[in-house]
């Protein structure tokens, strides 16, 4: 998928926003869970604290009985992180859980403290360097019997619980995010599939396999298809009108020129010769520009496709008849699926001029070969036409001169000298390539590269 594609932008945008939303959701869920487990932890400590206070309330003043482990075995395990103690206010520790051993807890060393409803809440380091959450309440029976009742729990258990929850949430949201991105990518590709259909039909239209857009299309794309069909129809009408105007102009100009030429030929004077020469030059220029206009119009026809094999078979048969007296061996090989993306008349004119030129100069052999280079990626396919002869050939300088309009390297051969230049004009209008080179047969090779259908 290309970085600058519409699908990539949509998928990337959806992925970024999904990732942001999932991260925010994970943070919120973890924060809510942390608050919940901290409240539950503190409520558990509060129950132990109330149990200790209740035990004190049932004892005679000054006579404290050991409340035991309060139903929690970890109060019995040395340095388990779960502790309780009863201290006389501003005095010594009177009772403590077995888990404290000989140590005591001093709330003055707490890293954070606050009081809620008469109960102090604090965080401090325990005797085994554990982080403890502590609740402490002061109980007063009389002036001489005032006690600080303290309960502490291992805060690392709380953190481990939160970390485990965060890990589970992160993994769950990651899997959900991957699934969400995958489903989003599928939906986007599925939603953009009609655009692929439009692209394929455009390619088919350009190559000549289709003449118009055929649906059905989604409602959003249907107007585009209709407008493109209307554009194609309008283009065809403009080309037809241009052809008609070119034909009318040719007829309107050639008739007066023919009259002038005939009149000049009937007079032997110098003026008549000059007029005839200039009239012939005008006729050639008119033919040149009218030909270019016709060629340009035909080359812009959308969807025109010509099968190469039948066209070349007819041309070769015609050339064999024309040069029958010379006994030329004209060989033809056309590769499979050789189709020209253009008008049949243009292909006939290009190949006809090349084969005719080869036959004029050949000693005994002419070879015509047609092959196809398939399309690859963004590169369109090409139709390669090679015409070889065993004639005298041309030097490099002569090959450059040969394509000039009206240039004839040997006046003994018939023709106007326009053949190769017409081929050059046609090839350029189809955005192809035309080259002259040394032939393996010993003469001249003419190679034309044209768009393939």
In the DSSP assignment, the letter for residue 385 is: E
Two structure tokens written together for 391: 């004639």
Tell me the pLDDT tens digit for each residue of 272-305: 777 777 877 777 777 766 766 666 665 555 567 8
The C-alpha atoms of residue 77 and residue 297 are separated, in whole angstroms, by: 100
Q: From edge to edge, which strands make up the β-sheet containing 83-88?
A: 93-96, 83-88, 145-154, 131-142, 119-125, 112-116
Residue 445: predicted pLDDT? 93
pLDDT at 417: 44
* Helix or strand (DSSP H, E) at 21: helix 6-57
What are the tokens at 27?
Answer: 């943070």
Task: Specify which residues 124 forms β-bridges with.
Answer: 132
pLDDT confidence of residue 115: 86
Q: Which residues of 161-181 are buried (b: 16+ CB within 10 A; e: fewer)?
A: bbeebbeebeeebeeebeebb
For the purposes of burial, counting CB atoms within 10 Å of the CB of 38, is it exposed (0-12), middle (13-18) or buried (19 or more)? middle
Across-strand partners of 329? 365
Give the pair of three-digit tokens for residue 169. Answer: 């949430």
Measured CA to CA in angstroms, residue 3 lies from 6, 7, 85, 195 at distances of 9, 9, 67, 17
Which of helix, strand or coil describes residue 200?
A: helix
Long-range contacts of 322-326, Cβ-Cβ distance < 8 Å, separation of 24 or more: 322/359, 323/359, 326/359
- DSSP state for residue 452 in the 8-state scheme: B
pLDDT tens, position by position, for the chain (453 residues)? 667 778 888 888 888 998 999 999 999 999 999 999 999 999 999 999 998 888 888 877 667 777 887 888 899 999 999 999 998 888 888 889 999 888 999 888 888 888 888 889 999 998 888 899 999 999 888 877 889 999 999 998 888 899 999 999 999 999 999 999 899 888 888 888 888 888 887 777 766 667 777 777 788 888 888 888 888 788 778 777 777 777 777 777 777 878 787 777 777 777 777 777 787 777 777 776 676 666 666 555 556 788 999 999 999 999 999 888 888 899 999 988 898 988 888 899 899 999 998 998 898 999 999 999 887 766 778 999 999 999 888 888 888 777 664 444 444 344 444 557 778 888 888 888 999 999 999 999 999 999 887
pLDDT at 296: 61
Q: What is the pLDDT of residue 288?
A: 65
How far apart (Å, rounded) are the C-alpha atoms in residues 293 and 250? 11
Q: Nearest to residue 445, comparing CAs of 388, 371, 396, 403? A: 388
Four-CA torsion 39, 40, 44, 50, nearest 10 degrees: 50
């Amino acid at each position: 998928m290309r970085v600058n594609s519409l699908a990539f932008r949509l998928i990337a945008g959806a992925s970024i926003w999904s990732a942001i939303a999932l991260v925010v959701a994970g943070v919120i869920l973890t924060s809510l869970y942390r608050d919940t487990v901290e409240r539950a932890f503190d409520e558990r400590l509060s129950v132990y604290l109330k149990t200790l206070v209740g035990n004190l309330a049932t004892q005679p003043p000054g006579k404290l009985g050991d409340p035991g482990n309060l139903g929690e075995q970890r109060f019995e395990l040395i340095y388990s992180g779960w502790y309780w103690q009863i201290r006389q206010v501003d005095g010594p520790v009177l009772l403590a859980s077995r888990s404290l051993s000989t140590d005591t807890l001093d709330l003055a060393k707490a890293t954070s403290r606050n009081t809620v409803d008469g109960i102090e809440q604090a965080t401090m380091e325990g005797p085994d360097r554990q982080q403890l959450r502590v609740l402490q309440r002061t109980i007063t029976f009389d002036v001489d019997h005032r006690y600080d009742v303290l309960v502490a729990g291992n805060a690392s258990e709380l953190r481990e619980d939160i970390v485990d929850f965060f890990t589970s949430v992160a993994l769950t949201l990651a899997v959900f995010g991957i699934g969400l991105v995958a489903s989003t990518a599928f939906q986007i590709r599925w939603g953009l599939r009609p655009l692929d259909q439009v692209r394929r039909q455009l390619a088919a239209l350009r190559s000549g396999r289709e003449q118009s857009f055929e649906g059905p299309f989604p409602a959003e794309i249907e107007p585009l298809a209709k407008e493109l069909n209307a554009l194609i129809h309008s283009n065809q009408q403009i080309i037809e009108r241009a052809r008609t105007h070119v034909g009318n102009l040719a007829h309107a100009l050639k008739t007066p020129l023919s009259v002038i030429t005939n009149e000049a030929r009937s007079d032997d004077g110098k003026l008549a010769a000059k007029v005839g020469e200039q009239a012939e030059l005008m006729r050639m220029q008119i033919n040149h520009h009218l030909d270019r206009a016709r060629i340009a119009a035909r080359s812009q026809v959308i969807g025109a496709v010509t099968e190469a094999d039948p066209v070349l078979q007819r041309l070769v048969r015609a050339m064999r008849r024309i040069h029958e007296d010379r006994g030329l061996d004209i060989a033809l090989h056309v590769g499979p699926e050789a189709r020209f993306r253009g008008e049949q008349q243009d292909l006939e004119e290009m190949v006809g001029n090349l084969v005719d030129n080869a036959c004029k100069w050949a000693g005994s052999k002419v070879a015509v070969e047609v092959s196809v280079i398939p399309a690859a990626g963004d590169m369109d396919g090409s139709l390669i036409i090679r015409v070889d002869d065993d004639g005298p050939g041309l030097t490099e300088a002569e090959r450059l001169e040969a394509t000039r309009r009206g240039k004839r390297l040997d006046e003994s051969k018939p023709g106007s000298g326009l053949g190769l230049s017409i081929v050059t004009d046609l090839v350029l209008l189809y955005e192809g390539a035309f080259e002259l080179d040394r032939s393996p047969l010993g003469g001249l090779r003419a190679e034309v590269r044209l768009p393939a259908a």
